[in-house]
Structure 1
Amino acid sequence: MNNPNQKSFPVSWDQFHRDSRALAWRLTGMGTFDAVVAIARGGLVPATIVARELNIRVVESVAVKSYDHQNQGTVTVLKSISQQILDIAKNGGKVLIVDDLVDTGATARAVRDMLPGAHFATVYAKPMGRELVDTFITEVSQDTWIFFPWDLDVAYAAPISGGPTNEFVSGA
């Protein structure tokens, strides 16, 4: 989060699990998928949940880097999709691509180019990348930075009012 005007959207493990299952529910009406491709790293967790819920046994990953924890940059493919998955798609099989978020769409475009006929699903979508996904659960504004559960740690939070926290108040 490199812009102080950005909104913050922290997501707990419980919420992320519920949203990933909701994604699976939304996908159930689309028939059986022959394989799922998780976009590493963020898409690994929701892809696992979706694969479990939809009973998809062929699970693959593609590793694409388009930004670090603060800055967006150029798209680099670190690990390509296996030939087995490309063959499934080429022979008319249904392939599902899963990611945690579509942001600017840079990663989505790169993976869509690899599997143009696949169904693309994300848990969260921002407006700039939304048109690149077929199914998503929650849309957030482009100026929102999503803090995923793996980005967070349990820590003290100051009271909203700025009043006393755990101080002993005598005479009450």
Structure 2
Amino acid sequence: MAPSSTPSIRADRPGPTYVTWDDLAAATGALAHQVTAAGTPQVVVGIVRGGMIPAVWLAHRLAIRDVRTVEVTRTTSDGINAAKSTLPTARNPASLGDLTGLDVLLVDDIAGSGVTLDLTTRMIRDLGPARVRTAVLAVNRTNWTQEPAPHHHIDYIASLTDTWVVFPWEAHHER
């Protein structure tokens, strides 16, 4: 699905984009609208750490009580423009539990190259859900390495950006 026509996360200046809580509310609202147009999932899975807050917000907006986590990471630290490992690392995939036959929405804060989201989607599909959909607050087009474009890999995208995105829960967020 294509990103919403009104970006919720602004990237209108060079350097990092600093997302506010209001931006986050708008972005999760846009994603919830996109998701419900295709049916409400039964389970929301957040990729720890960045995807947890948007996953919980989406679960509340969608009235879904089954929220799960999985830790998959590629960024090696929390700083702006932090280095990335070659491949994502998954920890404790058993935390996903039994997803057999369920409609699952996988949520992350940002997709850079798309590699972390792809690995996590494959992990979830291996658990036998009826359906897996993906949602992100933002896609950093500068880092996107896959063909074709992000909207062919990710079902719901709140915004597209060309800069590093700093979310309000991150320690280095400017106010």
- 76-85 or 35-44, which deviates more: 76-85
Could you tell me which residue of structure 2 aligns to residue 140 of structure 1?
Answer: 161
Could you tell me which residue of structure 1 aligns to residue 112 of structure 2?
Answer: 103
Describe the shift of the 1:83–1:111 C-alpha distance in structure 2 as closer, same or farther (beyond 3 A).
Answer: closer
The amino acid across from 1:134 in the alignment is D
Q: 1:45 aligns with which of 46, 49, 53?
A: 53
Could you tell me which residue of structure 2 aligns to residue 126 of structure 1?
Answer: 140
Q: 1:84 aligns with which of 67, 85, 97?
A: 97
Q: Per chain length, whose mean CA-contact separation is higher, i.e. which structure has more relative contact order (CA < 8 Å, sep 6+)? A: 2
Does the Cα contact within 8 Å between 2:70 and 2:96 map onto a contact in 1? no
Does the Cα contact within 8 Å between 1:60 and 1:81 map onto a contact in 2? no
The amino acid across from 1:135 in the alignment is Y
Structure 2: gaps spanning 5 or more residues: 1-13, 126-130
Q: 1:21 aligns with which of 3, 8, 29?
A: 29
Does the Cα contact within 8 Å between 2:68 and 2:96 map onto a contact in 1? no
- Structure with the greater alpha carbon radius of gyration: 1
- CA RMSD, aligned part only? 1.8
Describe the shift of the 1:83–1:17 C-alpha distance in structure 2 as closer, same or farther (beyond 3 A).
Answer: closer
TM-score by length of 1: 0.76
Could you tell me which residue of structure 2 aligns to residue 150 of structure 1?
Answer: 169
The amino acid across from 1:80 in the alignment is P
Describe the shift of the 1:80–1:40 C-alpha distance in structure 2 as closer, same or farther (beyond 3 A).
Answer: same
Measured after TM superposition, the shift of residue 126 of structure 1 is 2.5
CA distance in 2, matches of 1:83, 1:38: 10
Question: What are the superposed Cα offsets for residues 14-71 of structure 1, whole Å, 9 maximum, x if unpaired?
Answer: 2112211221122111112111100111111111111011111111001111002211
Aligned length: 143
The amino acid across from 1:76 in the alignment is T
Question: What are the superposed Cα offsets for residues 58-86 of structure 1, whole Å, 9 maximum, x if unpaired?
Answer: 11001111002211113111221546343
CA distance in 2, matches of 1:81, 1:8: 35
Does the Cα contact within 8 Å between 1:108 and 1:132 map onto a contact in 2? no
CA distance in 2, matches of 1:138, 1:84: 30
Structure 1: gaps spanning 5 or more residues: 1-5, 155-172
- 112-121 or 55-64, which deviates more: 112-121
The amino acid across from 1:63 in the alignment is E
